[in-house]
Chain A
Amino acid sequence: MTCLPGKTAKSLGLVIDLDTCVGCQACVTACKGWNDRGAELLPDENPYGPEPSGVFLNRVHSYEVTPPDGPAWIVNFPRSCLHCEDAPCVTVCPTGASLKRAEDGIVLVNEDACIGCGLCAWACPYGAREMDEARGVMKKCTLCVDRIYDESLPPEDRQPACVRTCPTGARHFGDLADPDSAVSRLVAEREGYALMPGMGTKPVNRYLPPRRKGPGAAPVLAPLEGKATGLAGWLDRMLGKL
């Protein structure tokens, strides 16, 4: 059904910390690895040719932001499905392939019902959907629905592949409908925000803004006093006396 479920029991989603993301692309690779599994479920066209192109469910952009009082910052910006509460990609779907689950709010594509019209990708402001042109069906982030409930996995692995792999801990997974969850507390503490709220999609995922840097931020540490020893120390003393 492409009618939205309204209030969902949970709102599972991601919280992405733009302060700690270093833009290493590990989440992109882990996502591709888990969701492709060597079976070309996220196919690449011409991967070793001059114009490679392929399906990814997560892309990491890099922006330069210039605050008025200091030098520019580089902000690495992972972009994937935000599992919106008012997901326009779901309501536009003519076949019922695009759906939002009532139990946890995950937005999924039922590939057996997808006709590949592409209207859902047009309806998404965030570019979260990419077409699998080999199979003619739409692909999107599943929040690793095949990991997070899999009890055969050790508990620490029951989270999305991108979150599990992030070496700097910039990605967090949890229930954003529960105000006491770790992710909700993090959002409250760091003033996490939604992307393009003006689009009326009510995204579940939140982004944590980069912390202040430069003047006004924590003072820069004083350089350590260099105390040379051995030959360098002798040279230092002798040259100092000249």
Chain B
Amino acid sequence: MHPAPSVILFTTLSGLGFGYLVFLATGAVALSGWAAFFAWGLGYGLAVAGLMASTFHLGNPQRALKAFTQWRSSWLSREAWTSCAALFALAPMALSDWLDLGLPRPIGWAGAVLALATVGCTAMIYTQLKTVPRWNHWTTPASFFAFALAGGAVLAGQGWLASGLCLSLGLALVLQFRLGDHQFAARGETMGSATGLGGIGPVRVFEQPHTGPNYLMREMIHVVGRRHARKLRLIALLCAALVPAVLCALLPPMVAAVTAGALHLTGALAARWLFFAEAEHVVGLYYGMR
């Protein structure tokens, strides 16, 4: 699939933002006054920047409000609702931390649940697609949740907890890479089943239906990004998970939050690029391409 920068930024930044907001909301970091203001500002900033980025790839962003209407069937619509609900629900807690209003913590927990639900909805937008077997698997939500929680814990300076969550993210990534490689074949769709001609004998493309690439090929058959898949997997694993795990365990919280946080974001962007670039759509079968 085409790794559009807007979608990579959307999923990465909003995931990190909502993950960080979970730690702020549950009171894992005890902040008050201006420190709380900047911490909550960073959480809100990341989440909102991600959501804004998602509108950049829309053909008609001025109609984006219509995306709230189809929550009964559409994960994208549900994501719109949960993200707004989470941002609204967390506002009292943010104000309370900043202005020392002393609101009870359970208000924050409710917001944290909504923030995690948003991450889940984002993951389901991709997981629901049977047409992309690599995504249509439990490892997709597992890695989205692992990214949000590990990234949130790193930014929140959670020390050993952050290290542990980074290591679980590493495990989720390894599983996603290793299991993902077999999912297209496991789905069992071939040029034979795509055309229904497989029962006669082996099928081969004789002539393409058009001489130049079209929307389908640009969008669903993206080969450039896969060329360096092995290197990118290693970069993602080291930068997003393993090195931050070490840094969070060894460095003081504030230093770890900055260094490990920056490194984690780099790794997360690499992983998310690969998430799109490596994903193969079954429509490629009609073109004899992946």
A residues with CB within 8 A of B: 1-4, 18, 28, 51-56, 59-68, 73-75, 77, 79, 88, 90-97, 113-119, 121-127, 130-133, 135-137, 193-196, 198-200, 207, 209-210
* Distance in angstroms between the alpha carbons of A131 and B46 in the assembled complex: 30
> Would you call A2 and B202 a contact (CB within 8 A)?
no
- Closest approach, in angstroms, between the C-beta of A33 and any C-beta of chain B? 17
Listed by A's residue number, 15 A-B pairs whose Cβ atoms lie within 8 Å are A2-B72, A53-B212, A60-B209, A61-B287, A91-B73, A94-B68, A97-B66, A115-B59, A115-B60, A117-B57, A117-B67, A132-B59, A195-B194, A196-B193, A196-B194
Residues of B close to A88: CB separation below 8 A:
129-131
> Would you call A121 and B216 a contact (CB within 8 A)?
yes
Given A114-B60, A122-B281, A126-B283, A94:B202 Cβ within 8 A: no
- Closest approach, in angstroms, between the C-beta of B50 and any C-beta of chain A? 15
Given A60-B209, A115-B64, A127:B70 Cβ within 8 A: no
Interface hits, B43-62 → A, CB 8 Å: 57-61
> Would you call B131 and A113 a contact (CB within 8 A)?
no
* Distance in angstroms between the alpha carbons of A132 and B59 in the assembled complex: 9
- Tell me, yes or no, whether B76 is within 8 Å of chain A by CB: yes
Output the residue of B64, B130, B188 with the most chain A CB within 10 A. B130
Closest to B1 in A: A122
Closest to A67 in B: B201
- Closest approach, in angstroms, between the C-beta of B6 and any C-beta of chain A? 11
- Closest approach, in angstroms, between the C-beta of B230 and any C-beta of chain A? 26
B74-107: contact bitstring with A at CB < 8 Å (1 yes, 0 no)? Answer: 1111001000000000000000000000000000
* Distance in angstroms between the alpha carbons of A88 and B201 in the assembled complex: 30
For the residues of B in contact with A, the DSSP-based class is loop
B123-137: contact bitstring with A at CB < 8 Å (1 yes, 0 no)? Answer: 001001111100000
Given A119-B76, A121-B216, A137:B60 Cβ within 8 A: yes
Closest to A138 in B: B59
- Closest approach, in angstroms, between the C-beta of A106 and any C-beta of chain B? 18
> Would you call B195 and A63 a contact (CB within 8 A)?
yes
- Closest approach, in angstroms, between the C-beta of A178 and any C-beta of chain B? 23
> Would you call A94 and B80 a contact (CB within 8 A)?
yes
Residues of A close to B69: CB separation below 8 A:
94-96
Q: How large is the interface on B (under 10, 10 to 19, 20 to 34, 35 or more residues)?
A: 35 or more
- Tell me, yes or no, whether B182 is within 8 Å of chain A by CB: no
> Would you call B206 and A74 a contact (CB within 8 A)?
yes
> Would you call A3 and B72 a contact (CB within 8 A)?
yes
> Would you call A96 and B214 a contact (CB within 8 A)?
no
Residues of A close to B281: CB separation below 8 A:
122
Residues of B close to A127: CB separation below 8 A:
216, 220, 283, 286
> Would you call A91 and B74 a contact (CB within 8 A)?
yes
Residues of B close to A75: CB separation below 8 A:
195, 197
Interface hits, B230-285 → A, CB 8 Å: 281-283
- Tell me, yes or no, whether B203 is within 8 Å of chain A by CB: yes
> Would you call A209 and B189 a contact (CB within 8 A)?
no
Output the residue of A4, A79, A93 with the most chain B CB within 10 A. A93
- Closest approach, in angstroms, between the C-beta of B264 and any C-beta of chain A? 28
A94 contacts which of B57, B70, B204, B283 (Cβ < 8 Å)? B70
Given A116-B59, A136-B58, A207-B196, A94:B209 Cβ within 8 A: no
* Distance in angstroms between the alpha carbons of A209 and B197 in the assembled complex: 7
Residues of A close to B209: CB separation below 8 A:
28, 59-62, 79
Given A64-B203, A64-B206, A125:B58 Cβ within 8 A: no
A63 contacts which of B57, B59, B205 (Cβ < 8 Å)? B205
- Closest approach, in angstroms, between the C-beta of A63 and any C-beta of chain B? 5
> Would you call A3 and B73 a contact (CB within 8 A)?
yes
> Would you call B195 and A195 a contact (CB within 8 A)?
yes
Residues of B close to A196: CB separation below 8 A:
189, 193-194, 282
* Distance in angstroms between the alpha carbons of A117 and B231 in the assembled complex: 30
